[in-house]
Amino acid sequence: VANENADKIVPYIDITIDRNYILKSQLMLIDFLAQNDWERPVYFVTGGHEDAIGLEDYFQLEGFAYRLVPIKTARSGIIDYGRINPDVMYDNLINKFRWGRVNQPDVFADYYTRRTLSVMRVRNNFARLAKSLISDEKRDSAITVLDRCVEIMPLDKLPNDIFTTGLVEGYYMAGAKEKADSIAEKLLSVVTEELEYYFSMDAEFQDATRYEKSMSLQILQDLMRFTSKYENGELKKKTEQEFGKYYQLYRGVEE
């Protein structure tokens, strides 16, 4: 823990095992933490699983892994665990990490590449860092982070996912309204095309695309919220119209 955060160190950490037995993997982790005694850093790839034993509130995001720290931070979202070390994470994402050539036009991003980038929540992590920098009044750095994400994961090369709206919100929060509007308009266009395709399928295929349709509708909801909050009336109106149209179709299929 950095010296400036020493006053945030908790006297103890609660471990939660919500059952009347303990798994070998959990026992191994508890023993490892006891023997390690904070001598070396311990990282988790993700949380929200039984082997995390309730430690997510003590996670510190530094890139694409969470460092266990004796500082408790309530999660800000379902998958946004713990706190962020903005200085370390900025250096990792902007300077240290190497991203290959997935953004180049002559490189094909296959299913496994796209899936991995989505599971790693790359866009979400960039957006989380940007929002953390904005809260520290480092708007220029936040915009640099968002620009870097758009550069390495261009919207026309890699599929938009539920985390793409975080970039829109980040740009709005940083005061880069034109960039936010541009991504929002592209998202609206892509998502409505996808929804039109899903609902054009025969009835026997509607259930198979339920998840995709719900995620697309969630993106439209996020866009409505952001365009309303940051006063883009025209885009808000378009988004509301498209959401209303496809939500009614969604309800009809589900019923």
In this structure, which amino acid lies at residue 211? Y
Mean pLDDT of 179-201: 94
The answer for residues whose C-beta is within 8 angstroms of residue 161's C-beta and 6 or more apart is 118, 123, 215
pLDDT given for residue 152 in this prediction: 93
Residue 164: band (very low, low, confident or very high) from pLDDT cuts 50, 70, 90 = very high
Nearest to 227 by CA among 155, 156, 160, 177: 177
Strand bridging mode 43-44 / 59-61: unpaired
pLDDT given for residue 181 in this prediction: 94
Please state the pTM of the whole predicted model.
Answer: 0.88
Please indicate whether residue 250 or residue 119 has the higher confidence score (pLDDT): 250
**What is the token pair recorded at 63?**
């890139």
The answer for residues whose C-beta is within 8 angstroms of residue 222's C-beta and 6 or more apart is 165, 168, 169
Asked whether the predicted pLDDT for residue 198 surpasses 80, the reply is yes
Best-predicted range by mean pLDDT (43-57, 60-74, 132-146): 132-146
Mean pLDDT (the chain, rounded): 91
Please indicate whether residue 142 or residue 99 has the higher confidence score (pLDDT): 142
Q: What is the length of the chain? A: 255
**φ, ψ dihedrals at 83, nearest 5°:** -110, 180
pLDDT given for residue 43 in this prediction: 94
Mean pLDDT of 28-55: 89
Query: Considering only 60-69, 100-109, 126-135, which range has the smallest mean pLDDT?
Result: 100-109
Asked whether the predicted pLDDT for residue 204 surpasses 70, the reply is yes
Count of alpha carbons within 13 angstroms of residue 4, beta-carbon side: 2
Report the alpha-carbon distance of residue 56 to residue 43 in Å, rounded.
Answer: 11
Report the alpha-carbon distance of residue 105 to residue 89 in Å, rounded.
Answer: 28
Asked whether the predicted pLDDT for residue 254 surpasses 80, the reply is no
Residue range 65-94, pLDDT digits in tens: 999 999 999 877 777 888 999 999 999 999
Looking at the DSSP bridge assignments, the partners of residue 67 are: 43, 60
pLDDT given for residue 255 in this prediction: 61
Q: Is 31 left (phi over 0), alpha (psi -120 to 50) or beta?
A: alpha
Asked whether the predicted pLDDT for residue 200 surpasses 90, the reply is yes
Nearest to 29 by CA among 54, 52, 61, 56: 52
Q: What percent of the chain has pLDDT over 70?
A: 99
pLDDT given for residue 51 in this prediction: 81
Residue 208: band (very low, low, confident or very high) from pLDDT cuts 50, 70, 90 = very high
